Amino acid sequence: MDYRERIVRDPAICGGVPVLRGTRVPLRTVLASLADGADIAEIVEAFPTVTEQDVRAVIAYAAASATDDLPLSPLPDVA
Dump pLDDT digits (tens) for 48-77: 999 999 999 999 999 888 776 556 677 676
Does some domain include residue 72? Answer: no
Classify residue 38: in a domain, yes or no.
Answer: yes
Residue type (1 letter), 20: L
Is the CB of residue 53 less than 8 Å from the CB of residue 6?
yes
**CATH code, domain carrying 38:** 1.10.10.10
pTM higher than 0.85 for the full model?
no
pLDDT for res 75: 67
Q: What is the domain extent for residue 18?
A: 3-67
Number of domains in the chain: 1
Evaluate whether residue 78 is within a structural domain. Answer: no
| Amino acid code (one letter) for 9 | R
Q: Average pLDDT of 20-41?
A: 97
Four-point Cα dihedral 60, 35, 29, 56, nearest 10: 30
Q: Is the pLDDT of residue 47 over 70?
A: yes
pLDDT given at position 65? 84
- Work out the average pLDDT over 27-36: 98
